[in-house]
Amino acid sequence: MSALHELLRRAVAQPDTLHWQSWAALAPGPSLVVMGAVHGNEVCGAHAIVRAIDALAQGRLQLLRGRLTLVPVANPLAFAQNTREGERNLNRRFLPQPAPQDYEDRITHQLAPLLAQHDVLLDLHSFHTPGEPFAMVGPRNNSGAREPFARAAEEMALARALGAPQVVEGWLEVYDRAALARGAVPDDDGIGTNEYMRSQGGYAVTLECGQHEDPAAIDVAEHALHGALALLGMAQVPAPARFDGPAARLDDVVLRQSPDDRLVRDWHSFDTVQAGDVVGVRADGTPVRAARDGCVLFPHPEADVGQEWFYLAVPEQA
């Protein structure tokens, strides 16, 4: 059995055990951790990572400097079930708890110290509807109380090196706005793997590699891993083309209020909208319009009531 199939088999057979592998070169350098299947039905990262593990084991890929840790399946229970979550969303409230209450709490208790031991995180995901891959970064440098950060330039450089044709900024700010729309006070629910990594002094990029079922998403994830290694000078690998265009910034999030709310068309991420365009219709017939020129992101026509129905993004201003 190949290393690829064996690692994925173990993830399914042993959902209470996390498996990862680390390599350290003799020459000093950055420490990079790459994770797949934080959401169990987003499998492209898992397959790309086990390809890299196999290449390292067979000598086709050699680490030149620094330390590399590969976590093919970050949520084994959700992966075994082929569901987004095990008992809850691992990429929300990603903070180690003194007394873990659920499966994802227990996984976080193992993953959080691992992330804190590294400088850089690449988190490989996919999305529900068709669309182009894109990288997601965090805030610009700031000393605010919510998400202070000082490594935005390094993070953006990584996002641009992954081969995706778009970069998106501003996750936590807009997620907090979704909490307010639900009538809640923004709290730790918006903290995911990337936000936790930044809180520990590192930096992180999420790459959305394509639609869940698209086999090409595995190649996107593999090319992104190579792009990260090449940018950081950790291995001699072919690097994907750098993205040099303007980033987009998340501007708004719209929640589904009723199971009868419907999107007016088969939206894909980065489909453009003009101010006033109707994106969806509420159960009572009220149109939901784009407030500004921009594009749709993460459309989810079957979102649960009270969850994110779609996001809107606008071109970033320098």
pLDDT in tens, 16-40: 889 999 999 999 999 999 999 999 9
pLDDT of residue 136: 96
CA 68 to chain centre: 19
Question: Over pLDDT 70: what percentage of the chain?
Answer: 98
The CA-based angle 170-106-36, given to 5 degrees, is: 50
4 band by pLDDT with thresholds 50, 70 and 90: low
pLDDT for 318 beyond 60: no
- pLDDT value, residue 205: 98
The domain locations on the chain are 3-231, 248-315
- Predicted local distance difference test score (pLDDT) of residue 307: 84
To the nearest whole percent, how much of the chain has pLDDT over 90?
81
Contact between residue 39 and residue 75 where contact means Cβ atoms under 8 Å apart: yes
Q: What is the mean pLDDT of the chain?
A: 93
Tell me yes or no: is domain 3-231 CATH 3.40.630.10. yes
Global confidence as pTM: 0.91
The CATH code of domain 248-315 reads 2.40.50.630
Among the ranges given (115-124, 185-194, 233-242, 273-282), the one the predictor scored with the smallest mean pLDDT: 185-194
pLDDT tens per residue, range 199-211: 999 999 999 999 9
Q: Does pLDDT of 57 surpass 60? A: yes
pLDDT at 1 over 60: no
66-89 mean pLDDT = 96
